[in-house]
């Protein structure tokens, strides 16, 4: 059944540094977990984690957090699949993740900072962007094949 659903692995074609694929897997888990928080916590983490005053807009805010969480879960699963089975796609997926996180940072800190309150994710994107850029560079260099199973 797996071969009918998933194309063959591309791991043998990957020539980048193995650590880049491992970092993508780590980022994938770090995307899936907050996605689950946003989907499954009663307030989506908006009040309990982000510290937002939900007020009368609570249903809308919680719904938006759940929507964002669903997207995070799907993106995280795709990143995990690439890091474990389709490593030839590690560089372009890392580039997309860098774009996504950079847009989060620009919006959260410059274009739409809101009331000046910054939830944990605003700080996390600043910390992870340099690591993601390094992972992208490592994924593009030639080197030993990653040691994941084919």
Question: Percent of the chain at pLDDT above 90?
Answer: 69
Q: How confident is the model at residue 150 (pLDDT cuts 50, 70, 90)?
A: very low
What's the per-residue H, E or C state across the chain? Answer: CHHHHCCCCCHHHCCCCHHHHHHHHHHHHHHHHHHHHHHHCCCCCCCCCCCCCCHHHHHHHHHHHHHHHHHHHHHHHHHHHHHHCCHHHHHHHHHHHHHHHHHHHHHHHHHCCCCCCCCHHHHHHHHHHHHHHHHHHHHHCCCCCCCCCC
Q: How confident is the model at residue 146 (pLDDT cuts 50, 70, 90)?
A: very low
Q: Whole-prediction pTM value?
A: 0.83
Listed in sequence order, the residues at least 6 apart from 139 whose beta carbon sits closer than 8 Å to its beta carbon are 16, 17, 20, 21, 90, 91, 94
Q: Return d(Cα 87, Cα 81) in angstroms, integer.
A: 9
User: What does the DSSP assignment read for 21-39?
Assistant: HHHHHHHHHHHHHHHHHHH
Mean pLDDT, the chain, integer? 89
Radius of gyration of the chain (CA): 17
- Render pLDDT for 26-80 as a digit per residue (tens, 0 to 9): 999 999 999 999 999 999 999 998 888 889 999 999 999 999 999 999 999 999 9
């Amino acid at each position: 059944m797996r071969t009918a659903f998933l194309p063959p692995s591309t791991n043998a074609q990957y020539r980048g540094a193995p650590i880049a694929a491992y970092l993508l897997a780590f980022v994938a888990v770090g995307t899936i977990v907050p996605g689950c928080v946003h989907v499954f916590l009663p307030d989506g983490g908006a009040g309990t984690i982000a510290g937002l005053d939900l007020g009368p807009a609570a249903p809308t805010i919680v719904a938006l957090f759940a929507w964002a969480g669903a997207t995070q879960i799907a993106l995280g699963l795709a990143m995990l699949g690439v890091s474990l089975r389709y490593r030839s796609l590690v560089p372009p997926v890392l580039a997309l993740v860098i774009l996504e996180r950079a847009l989060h940072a620009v919006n959260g800190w410059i274009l739409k900072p809101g009331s000046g309150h910054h939830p944990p994710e605003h700080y996390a994107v600043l910390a992870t962007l340099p690591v993601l850029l390094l992972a992208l560079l490592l994924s593009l260099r030639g080197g030993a094949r990653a040691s994941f199973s084919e």
